[in-house]
């Protein structure tokens, strides 16, 4: 019988939480923007309560989204005017969190005073969605980072904004970059940071072939897809691989399982995990081994999170959980390997429905793949429609997504120990 992962009972069941990576000029992950919305507003036309959503994320979402961050990574969190004035941001650690000033915030005296308190306390400030609007000079004078929405803008417009902002000495972040071509353009212009789904698109190198090492890992993934595989074979594979053995023992002894005694034997760990959970763990670890850069490492995390989310939702709807897990796990395999998905599929025999969905063809599970993609984009309007189409309960989906994020961080060995958790800073005197 397999073990059950312990849940810490995060109070985020009614909040959709998504995080989007932000890359530096060397394509290393610099940080993440944390995006959120109440699931209770799914399917309605009511306006999101920014104050309430920010409060919930400060209370719980920061720790959830922070799980799995590399040391030194930043987390950008949106703040409306009232939350800034009330010094709510001081509940967050300044060395890890960037205070993102929503574009709806006006540079009123009380707002400027609040921003000055944050600057004095060592917080980094980012202005969201600047499009050249007048009257923001006081905020621009204090902002460390200015985010520029690239989507739908001509190169001429982007160059104009770059020239307008350059005198302020702030770093520029290009957001909503959908293609590698646009990423390269903004990089040439001098932008420092880049956010968008260009990183999910494969950078195909002409003539590149899948290596023998990659092929052997793909073959192992394929073997794990068969219900009649021999668990003893898997045990042998793990036992002779020092890295796999170490990671398995680290995983089984993590806080997720709350074991009373330390497990020191690979065989004992395998017995405790059980066949299904062992296969899940090995699939995710093999996927992470295919990812040899921080960019593709993020893809491995997203893939694992998608896999677990789809598995959890499948269990509530009667869909085959094993197939749904694979659908999420393989959804970014083309970007991880730098190969077209058609090429990757040749070496990975899969169920026709999963294969067709991964290739973008009509399939019984294509809408499920679109669901996780919409979730990662934090496209809340489309997410509402996707949940409604699949007859899924929004609160159940929000809870499952939170659990999937925590699970992916735990299984990849990315969780942050409690004694290493960052500490908030007290506000300076007004």
Q: What is the 8-class DSSP label of residue 47?
A: P
Structural domain ending residue among the three candidates 201, 231, 246: 201
Per cent of the chain over pLDDT 70 is: 77
Is 416 part of any domain? no
Is 427 part of any domain? no
- Do 304 and 350 have their domain in common? yes
- Do 196 and 259 have their domain in common? no
Query: Taking the CA of residue 146 as centre, how many other CA atoms within 13 Å lie in the half-sphere pointing to its CB?
Result: 25
172 or 214: which leads in pLDDT? 172
CA angle 332, 338, 342 (to 5 degrees): 70
Q: What average pLDDT score do residues 349-361 get?
A: 90
CATH number of the domain bearing residue 23: 3.20.20.450
pLDDT tier, 61 (very low <50, low <70, confident <90, very high otherwise): low
**Highest mean pLDDT: which range of 144-148, 199-203, 216-220, 255-259:** 144-148
For CA atoms 426, 13, 2, 298, the dihedral sign is: negative
Contacts of 298 (CB under 8 A, 6+ apart): 21, 29, 199
pLDDT tier, 380 (very low <50, low <70, confident <90, very high otherwise): confident
- Per-residue confidence (pLDDT) for residue 47, from 0 to 100: 37
Is 139 part of any domain? yes
Q: Among residues 135, 189, 149, 182, which one has the least CA distance to residue 33?
A: 149
Is 120 part of any domain? yes
- Per-residue confidence (pLDDT) for residue 2, from 0 to 100: 42
- Per-residue confidence (pLDDT) for residue 298, from 0 to 100: 86
Token pair, residue 284, equals 């995710």
Is 421 part of any domain? no
pLDDT over 50 at 420, yes or no: no
Burial of residue 406, with CB atoms counted within 10 A of its CB: 0-12 exposed, 13-18 middle, 19 or more buried: buried
- Do 193 and 219 have their domain in common? no
- Per-residue confidence (pLDDT) for residue 168, from 0 to 100: 92
pLDDT 10s digits, 7-46: 444 444 456 777 889 999 988 889 999 887 766 554 433 3
- Do 178 and 248 have their domain in common? no
The pLDDT mean for the chain works out to 80
- Do 261 and 332 have their domain in common? yes
Is 207 part of any domain? no
CA angle 116, 122, 125 (to 5 degrees): 60
Measure the CA–CA gap between 396 and 372, rounded to whole angstroms. Answer: 14
DSSP string, 305-341: HHHHHHHHHHHHHT--HHHHHHHHHTTTHHHHHTS-H
- Do 242 and 110 have their domain in common? no
Structural domain ending residue among the three candidates 145, 171, 201: 201
- Per-residue confidence (pLDDT) for residue 4, from 0 to 100: 42
pLDDT 10s digits, 280-335: 888 888 877 776 666 778 888 999 999 999 999 999 998 988 889 989 998 998 88
- Per-residue confidence (pLDDT) for residue 191, from 0 to 100: 95
- Answer left, alpha or beta for residue 97, where phi above 0 means left and psi between -120 and 50 means alpha: beta
- Do 145 and 34 have their domain in common? yes
Beta strands in 150-287 (DSSP E): 171-175, 193-195
Measure the CA–CA gap between 282 and 279, rounded to whole angstroms. Answer: 5
Per cent of the chain over pLDDT 90 is: 30
- Do 255 and 358 have their domain in common? yes
Contacts of 17 (CB under 8 A, 6+ apart): 34, 35, 36, 57, 61, 64, 65, 398, 401, 402, 405
- DSSP-derived 3-state class of residue 249: helix
pLDDT tier, 192 (very low <50, low <70, confident <90, very high otherwise): very high
- Do 119 and 156 have their domain in common? yes
Is 428 part of any domain? no
Token pair, residue 129, equals 């969605």
- Do 222 and 356 have their domain in common? yes
- Do 178 and 238 have their domain in common? no
Structural domain ending residue among the three candidates 201, 228, 244: 201
- Per-residue confidence (pLDDT) for residue 209, from 0 to 100: 59
DSSP string, 258-298: --SS----HHHHHHHH-HHHHHHHHHHHHHHHT--SHHHHH
- Do 173 and 44 have their domain in common? yes
Residue-number span of the structural domain to which 162 is assigned:
15-201
Is 406 part of any domain? no
- Distance separating the N- and C-terminal Cα atoms of the chain: 58
pLDDT 10s digits, 400-417: 998 998 888 888 876 544
Measure the CA–CA gap between 40 and 57, rounded to whole angstroms. Answer: 15
Looking at the structure of the chain, the number of domains it has is 2
């Amino acid at each position: 019988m397999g073990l059950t992962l312990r849940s810490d009972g995060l109070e985020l069941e009614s909040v959709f939480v998504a995080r989007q990576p932000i890359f530096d000029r060397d394509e290393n992950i610099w940080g993440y923007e944390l995006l959120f919305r109440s699931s209770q507003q799914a399917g309605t036309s009511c306006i999101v309560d920014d104050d309430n959503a920010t409060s919930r994320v400060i209370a719980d979402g920061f720790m959830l989204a922070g799980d799995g961050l590399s040391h030194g990574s930043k987390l950008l969190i949106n703040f409306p005017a009232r939350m800034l004035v009330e010094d709510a941001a001081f509940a967050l650690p300044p060395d890890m969190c960037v205070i993102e000033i929503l574009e709806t915030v006006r540079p009123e005296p009380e707002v400027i005073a609040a921003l000055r308190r944050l600057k004095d306390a060592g917080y980094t400030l980012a202005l969201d969605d600047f499009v050249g609007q007048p009257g923001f000079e006081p905020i621009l004078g204090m902002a460390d980072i200015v985010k520029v929405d690239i989507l739908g803008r001509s190169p001429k417009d982007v160059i104009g904004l770059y020239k307008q902002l350059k005198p302020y000495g702030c770093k520029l972040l290009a957001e909503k970059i959908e293609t590698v071509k646009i990423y390269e353009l903004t990089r040439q212009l001098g932008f420092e940071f880049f956010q968008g789904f260009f990183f999910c698109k494969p950078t195909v190198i002409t003539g590149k072939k899948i290596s023998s090492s990659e092929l052997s890992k793909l073959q192992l993934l394929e073997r794990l897809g068969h219900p009649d595989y021999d668990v003893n074979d898997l045990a042998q594979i793990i036992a002779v691989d020092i890295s796999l053995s170490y990671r398995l023992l680290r995983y089984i002894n993590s806080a997720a399982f709350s074991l009373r005694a330390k497990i020191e034997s690979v065989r004992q760990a395998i017995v405790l995990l059980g066949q299904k959970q062992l296969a899940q763990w090995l699939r995710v670890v093999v996927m992470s081994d295919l990812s040899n850069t921080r960019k593709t490492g993020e893809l491995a995390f997203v893939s694992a999170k998608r896999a677990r989310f789809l598995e959890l939702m499948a269990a509530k709807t009667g869909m085959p959980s094993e197939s749904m897990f694979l659908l999420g796990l393989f959804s970014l395999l083309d970007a991880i390997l730098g190969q077209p998905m058609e090429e990757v599929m040749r070496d990975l025999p899969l169920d026709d429905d999963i294969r067709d969905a991964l290739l973008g063809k009509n399939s019984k599970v294509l809408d499920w793949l679109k669901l996780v993609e919409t979730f990662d984009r934090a496209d809340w309007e489309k997410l509402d429609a996707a949940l409604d189409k699949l007859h899924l309960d929004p609160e159940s989906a929000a809870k499952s997504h939170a659990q999937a994020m925590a699970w992916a961080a735990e299984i990849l060995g990315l969780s942050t120990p409690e004694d290493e958790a960052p500490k908030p800073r007290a506000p300076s005197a007004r």
